[in-house]
Amino acid sequence: MIVSQAHVTGTIQVIEHPADMEETIRAALHEANRLGVPVEKILLTYRPLTCWQGHNLVTTIGLDLIADRLRGNTGIAGIGYYAIGDSNAVPPAAGQTGLTSERFRDVLTATAVSAGGVQFTMFVGSLQGNGYTYVEGAPFNAENTMLARAIFPAKVKDASKTLTVIHTIQFAVT
């Protein structure tokens, strides 16, 4: 008998660019979304100020959302939003249903299927979401179901820079 296990994991990338690159970044993200291709390699070619990559935790309600969508429940909305917040006081945990301190939420800028997973991207322009130091992020659906949560090093957001968050959920069978 062959026994296999499915694993759902993920990564997050947070990339800052100078504000003078905003239109170029927006155009690149638009084109990547139109083509359905992953965006991280494209963005890294455009003079990033910083780039950080780490892991995230898929929540229990996120796993339930995936299971519902896989079984064909079309009454449940897919992921369409991303939120960032300014508190990492509580580490990611499976039972969480929201960010610790959400400060900014927007529709996804791009989505793509990416080598056994899916990639969700949110772009925060130079005039959006300013005045906070972001340290957490999560993808959500329209019903406010949080798929996964990640914490990352502090990113001070002001008008001098843009912020792109790329959240990838990977599916593997072992």
Domain segments of the chain as ranges = 6-173
The Cα–Cα gap between 111 and 63 comes to 19
Q: What is the pLDDT of residue 71?
A: 82
Residue range 78-100: mean pLDDT, rounded: 93
Q: Is the pLDDT confidence value at 4 over 70?
A: no
1-15, 89-103, 148-162: segment of lowest average pLDDT: 1-15
User: pLDDT tier at 1 (50, 70, 90 boundaries)?
Assistant: low
The Cα–Cα gap between 87 and 99 comes to 8
- At 133-152, the pLDDT tens digits run 999 999 999 999 999 999 99
> Within 13 A of 20's CA, how many CA atoms are on the CB side?
2
Q: What is the pLDDT of residue 101?
A: 96
